[in-house]
């Protein structure tokens, strides 16, 4: 069993989710607009949010032809201090500056990342503290490979490589687990985050309109109450996150401590489908 740093005490905080309109072809314009929306999110609400979240792929149109063109080199090494000034990524620099300027935690949606070491592209989310430090980086683990005849065929893995590491990070108000869009469909990932002490799970997303609408609310909800929801257009929504609800629910329905790992087998041994 691995040992973990103790999670921070879960405290009330205000969350702002930024939903952007259509992403255009001009990266500079996309970055400028995302910046304006984060500035708006941190100034227009009666209570300044502690954490702002941007959506998946916010600096680039979504698609195989676009990923390599819009991809940026980030060059992050986990466990080492990232030097923003030396970063080759204009998006990382913009997000870092924005977090610092607004003195807010910022989850920078995701951007196409070009990794020079592996020579691969990833769908990558970066996270900044209110000093502008890059504190976490998540590469989408479950790539959206789908083939529903006559409806949607898309293979993210044709141009992107999958991340290999579940990600969580600590703020002064919560431990937060991260995933990107399709990652939300895999409960194993959220279970790992929860067992590592995460109080909150965040999944920046850009769902397609074929497979998304049936499940996006259900997947986000899992078993709780929806307290804020955006429409289909550009919008900023806010929510006051209240630890008491989580604590009372976990105490009242203690599934966390009642799991029967002695009974559950390695699920890989049970599969009856071709991998």
Ligand X SMILES: O=C(O)CCC(=O)C(=O)O
Catalytic site residue from 56, 72, 113, 156: 56
Q: How far is the CB of 202 from ligand X (least distance, A)?
A: 15
Give min distance, CB of 251 to ligand X, in A: 32
| End-to-end alpha carbon distance in the chain | 28
**Of 37, 57, 8, 187, nearest to 102 (Cα)?**
37
Those residues whose C-beta lies under 8 Å from the C-beta of residue 13, and which sit 6 or more positions away, are 50, 51, 171, 173, 174, 240, 241
Lookup: tokens for 16:
């702002």
Name the phi and psi angles at 106, rounded to 5.
-135, 120
Annotation says 117 is catalytic: no
Residue with tokens 């900044």: 128
For residue 94, how far is the Cα from the chain centroid? 18
Name the nearest CA neighbour of 139 among 106, 164, 176: 164
How far is 256 from 247, CA to CA, in rounded Å?
A: 12
Choose, from 57, 72, 156, 181, the residue flagged as catalytic: 181
Q: For residues 75 and 162, which CB has a smaller minimum distance to ligand X in the complex?
A: 162
Give least dist CB 182 to ligand X, A: 3
Nearer to ligand X, 36 or 158 (CB): 158
CB of 187 or CB of 254, closer to ligand X: 187
Q: Is 12 or 21 the residue whose CB approaches ligand X more closely?
A: 21
Q: How far apart, in whole angstroms, are the C-alpha atoms of residue 19 and residue 33?
A: 11
DSSP codes of every residue in 113-175: EEETTTTEEEEEEEEE-TT--EEEEEE-SS--EEEETTTEEEEGGGT-PPP---EEEE-SS-E
Shortest separation between residue 49's beta carbon and ligand X, angstroms: 25
Least Å distance, CB 229 to ligand X, is: 17
Nearer to ligand X, 70 or 144 (CB): 144
Say whether 229 is catalytic: no
Asked about 73 being catalytic, the answer comes back as no
Active-site residue, selected from the candidate residues 27, 57, 125, 140: 140
Chain positions contacting ligand X, by CB under 6 A: 144, 181-182, 185, 206-208, 211-212
Residues with a known catalytic role: 56, 140, 181
């Amino acid at each position: 069993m691995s040992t973990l740093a103790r999670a921070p005490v879960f405290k009330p905080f205000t969350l702002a989710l930024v939903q952007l309109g259509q992403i255009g072809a001009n990266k500079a314009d996309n970055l400028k607009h995302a910046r304006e929306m984060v500035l708006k999110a941190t100034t227009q609400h009666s209570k300044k949010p502690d954490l702002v979240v941007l959506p998946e792929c916010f600096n680039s149109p979504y698609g195989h032809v676009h990923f390599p063109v819009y991809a940026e080199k980030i060059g992050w090494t986990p466990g080492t201090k990232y030097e923003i000034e030396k970063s080759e990524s204009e998006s990382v620099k913009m997000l870092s500056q924005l977090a610092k300027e607004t003195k807010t935690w910022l989850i920078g949606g995701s951007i196409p990342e070009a990794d020079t070491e592996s020579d691969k592209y990833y769908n990558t989310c970066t996270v900044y503290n209110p000093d502008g430090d890059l504190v976490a980086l998540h590469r989408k683990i479950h790539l959206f490979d789908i083939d529903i005849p006559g409806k949607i065929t898309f293979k993210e893995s044709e141009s992107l490589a999958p991340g290999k590491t579940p990600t969580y990070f600590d703020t002064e108000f919560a431990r937060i687990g991260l995933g990107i869009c399709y990652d939300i469909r895999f409960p194993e990932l959220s279970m790992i985050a929860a067992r590592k002490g995460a109080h909150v799970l965040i999944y920046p997303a850009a769902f397609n309109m074929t497979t998304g609408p049936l499940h996006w609310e259900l997947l986000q909800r899992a078993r709780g109450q929806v307290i804020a929801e955006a429409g289909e257009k550009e919008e900023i929504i806010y929510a006051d996150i209240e630890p008491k609800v989580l604590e009372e629910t976990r105490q009242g329905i203690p599934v966390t401590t009642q799991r029967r790992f002695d009974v559950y087998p390695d699920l890989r041994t049970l599969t009856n489908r071709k991998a």
